[in-house]
Chains A and B, each alone.
Chain A
Amino acid sequence: MATVSDRVRNATTKQDIREVTTHFEGDKGILEVQTLNAWYGKTLAIKDISMSIRSRTITAIIGPSGCGKSTFIRCLNRMHEVSHGGRVSGSVLLDGKDIYARDVDPVTIRQRIGMVFQKPSPFPTMSIFDNVAAGLRLTRLWSRRGDLQEVVERSLRQAALWDEVKDKLNQSGASLSGGQQQRLCIARALAVAPEIILLDEPCSALDPAATLKIEDLMRNLAQEYTIVIVTHNMQQAARVSEWTAFFLLGEMIEYGKTVDIFSRPKDKRTEDYITGRFG
């Protein structure tokens, strides 16, 4: 298991070291969501969500389609405001600092909180190598080609893709299979050394074999990173996550340890959902 000191050793920038060392403080969540509301135009998509996301765990957000789970996760790295008419109130504290504070640049937030989307979206004009390096090139901290190669290899290894692509790094990312593309996107997100990775239904476009690979990958990554995953697949949530939140119609109905949610749900609606009575 890679420890904090491993990451410090691997980290080559000051920012990295700061990120690694400020990682975990007791039981307090690395992300504290406080009375978060989000709108699309005039439609309120999520209502008064407050929850604490713990460091180095996998937290799953489940719920039927249209329950606001994707909107919620997009609020966690300020991607919601990119959507047309997207608006947010409330606060999300990352290491105690509100990411919605006025003086915070969403660009720096997104470097610390990475995201992988439902549809695998490699950049088709870039090679596999360049896809992984894309985020690093933005930071301009990686002037030496050697550094870049090292990080690209490390990220691809972490994403369990290295062995499959090491001989064709110059080929287009679009030439990979769907599952490989999604792992490429995970590698791309890992390359910028985020603290938190948000996965928005990462397996919904994949076949069962590719899905299992990504789930294994998530378990490994959870040793170093905090992962929040949105999924409409309850079995997946049960398999990978430590914490689960159940969303319904824009509200968080229940949040707790995954084992408790799935074996002794407190709310009737949660029980109905996980036993398959609706959704």
Chain B
Amino acid sequence: MEYDAATMSPPPVKGRTFGRRRRFGDRIFSNLTLIFALVIVAILLGLVIVLNIEAAPSISKFGISFLGSSSWDVPKESFGALPAIYGTLLTSAIGVLIAVPISLGAAIFLVEMAPSWLRGPCSFLIEMLAAIPSVIIGLWGIYVLAPFMTPIERWLGGHLGFIPIFHGQVFGFSFLTAGVILTLMIIPIITAVSRDAIKAVPDHQREAMLALGATRWETIRRAVLPYCRSGLIGATILGLGRALGETMAVTMVIGNAYKLTPSLFSTGTTISSKIANEFGEASSGLFIASLVELALVLFGVTLLINVVARLLVWRLTAVKEAS
């Protein structure tokens, strides 16, 4: 009998059992991947738990005032995190503010403008920048960037000194220098991720805008960038995340003074530099506990910023798909 696909069910295949063995393999595989996924969660939870246990003496002694206090007095055992939190947020903000326009420009150039022979080498160089160890960037910061920043800071102080952030003595080692170092370190990641986001914008979006009589720039601004804006925000957040946690290079150029001042030219510190600088010499239990609590604070700050960013992206995409 002939087999007619339209009217009959498939003829039975003899001597073949369906699926048993394959399903078994599938189950192993799916359990295995589940375990790996759980390992990540476990590591994260473990980290938080250990940090909490180790920081317990400091948490119980200082309570919430740890976050608001600017004191870091080892002999008197009085510790507070505010200057470090301030330094972390300030240097990261400077880094992101300078890095985002540069990276976005570079990404737009790479995808939309660059001739194809330039695209590969350019992308490669930008990714190479990400591969430089941060201690080397830090050394470069000490010997090249800090002396370079001194006259710039002096000039800013001379002309804009009436604004508190540009007021104060200039050393070269400062929040601003640290922010510029961070800029260099986060440009590669922001550029690479934005480039991929822009590249993922379908061509029909560009052509639709061009066909309305848009110039190339108008096409980028009105069709391409809005289409991939959640990707661009994601790129910025990745950069910000890296800036918040960056330790070595920042420690080497920020001057490591524990103070709270509006001046960008002042020496200062960040949470991670504080830990890196003092953990080796920390002797007393409360001192160590306070440093661990600093780590916990950094963890909290990073988490908070990521959650806010996720909400932002989520809100934007929700608007995009509203029906």
Interface residues of A (CB under 8 A from B): 77, 79, 82, 107-108, 110-111, 114-115, 117, 119, 121, 123-126, 134-135, 137-139, 171-172, 174-175, 185, 188-189, 192
Answer yes or no: B27 CB below 8 A from chain A CBs. no
Chain B contacts with A in 202-254, Cβ cutoff 8 A: 202, 204-215, 218, 222-223, 226-227, 229
B210 and A82 form a contact (CB under 8 A): yes
Contacts of B204 on A, CB cut-off 8 Å? 117, 119, 121
Least Cβ–Cβ distance between B322 and chain A, in angstroms: 5
Question: Does B320 lie at the interface of the complex (its beta carbon under 8 Å from any beta carbon of A)?
Answer: yes
* Docked-complex contact A125 and B322, CB < 8 angstroms: no
How long is the Cα–Cα vector from A138 to B321 in the complex, in angstroms?
25
Answer yes or no: B323 CB below 8 A from chain A CBs. yes
A126 to B205 CA separation, bound complex (whole angstroms):
12
Task: A135-B213, A175-B322, A192-B212 given; name 18 further pairs at CB < 8 Å.
Answer: A79-B211, A82-B206, A110-B211, A111-B212, A114-B211, A115-B207, A121-B205, A123-B208, A123-B209, A123-B227, A124-B321, A125-B227, A135-B214, A138-B212, A139-B213, A171-B322, A172-B320, A172-B323
Given A117-B207, A117-B208, A125 and B320 touching (CB < 8 A)? yes
Q: Mark B181-215, 1 if CB is under 8 A from A, else 0.
A: 00000000000000000000010111111111111
Of B211, B320, B321, B323, which is within 8 A of A189 by CB?
A: B211
- How many Å lie between the Cα of A138 and that of B219 in the bound state? 10
How far in angstroms is the closest Cβ of chain B from A121?
Answer: 4
Taking a contact as CB atoms under 8 Å apart, the answer to whether B321 and A82 are in contact is: no
Pair B211/A172 contact, Cβ less than 8 Å: no
The interface residues of chain A lying within 8 Å CB-to-CB of B223 are: 123
Chain B residues, Cβ within 8 Å of A108: 213
Complex contact A125–B213 (CB within 8 A): no
The smallest beta-carbon distance between A14 and chain B, in angstroms, is 16
Residues of chain A within 8 A of B226, CB atoms compared: 123, 125-126
Nearest CB of chain A from residue B240's CB, rounded to whole Å:
23
In angstroms, Cα B208 to Cα A121, docked, is 7
User: Do A174 and B321 touch across chains, with their CB atoms under 8 A apart?
Assistant: yes
Q: In the bound complex, do residue B210 and residue A188 qualify as a contact, i.e. CB atoms below 8 Å apart?
A: no
Q: A169 to chain B: closest CB distance in Å?
A: 13
* Ranked 10 nearest A-B pairs via Cβ: A111-B213, A135-B212, A175-B323, A115-B211, A125-B226, A121-B204, A121-B208, A110-B213, A138-B214, A119-B204
Tell me how far the C-beta of B323 lies from the nearest C-beta in chain A, rounded to whole angstroms. Answer: 4
For residue B204, which residue of chain A has the nearest CB? A121
Chosen A-B contacts, 21 in total, with CB atoms closer than 8 Å, are A77-B211, A79-B207, A79-B210, A82-B206, A107-B215, A108-B213, A114-B212, A115-B207, A115-B211, A117-B204, A123-B222, A123-B223, A123-B227, A125-B226, A125-B229, A171-B323, A174-B321, A175-B321, A189-B211, A192-B212, A192-B213
- Which chain B residue has the least Cβ–Cβ distance from A175? B323
CA distance A115 to B205 in the complex (A): 13
Chain A residues with CB below 8 A from B214, complex form: 107, 135, 138
CB closest chain-A residue, reference B116 = A84
**Which chain B residues lie closer than 8 Å to A114 at the CB level?**
211-212
CA distance A253 to B204 in the complex (A): 30
Picked from A77, A138, A174, the residue with its CB within 8 Å of the CB of B320 is: A174
Complex CA gap A115/B204 in Å reads 12
CA distance A148 to B227 in the complex (A): 23
* Chain A: CB-nearest residue to B215: A107
Q: Give chain A residues whose Cβ lies under 8 Å from the Cβ of B212.
A: 110-111, 114, 134-135, 138, 188-189, 192
List, in ascending order, chain A residues with CB within 8 A of B227's CB: 123-125
Neighbouring A residues of B323 by C-beta, 8 Å: 171-172, 175
The residue among B205, B211, B322 with the most chain A CB atoms within 10 A of its own CB is B211
Query: Which of chain B's residues have a CB closer than 8 A to the CB of A121?
Result: 202, 204-205, 207-208
List chain B residues, Cβ under 8 A from A189: 211-212
> Is B218 a contact of A138 with CB atoms below 8 Å?
yes
A119 to B222, CA, bound (A): 19
Question: Quick check: A110 and B208 within 8 Å, CB to CB?
Answer: no
Residue contact B207 to A82, C-beta cutoff 8 Å? yes
Contacts of B208 in A (CB 8 A): 117, 121, 123, 185, 188
Contact with A along B137-176 (1 / 0, CB 8 A): 0000000000000000000000000000000000000000
Q: Determine the residue in chain A with the shortest Cβ distance to B208.
A: A121
Do residues A110 and B321 form an inter-chain contact, with CB atoms below 8 A? no
Residues from chain A with a CB closer than 8 A to the CB of B321 are 124, 172, 174-175
Q: B202, B209, B222, B322: which contacts A172 (Cβ < 8 A)?
A: B322
B171 to chain A, nearest CB (A): 46
Contacts of B322 in A (CB 8 A): 171-172, 175
In the complex, the chain B residue whose C-beta lies closest to that of A131 is: B208
A58–chain B nearest beta-carbon distance, Å: 19
Given contacts A117-B207, A134-B222, A138-B218, contact A124 B213 (CB under 8 A): no
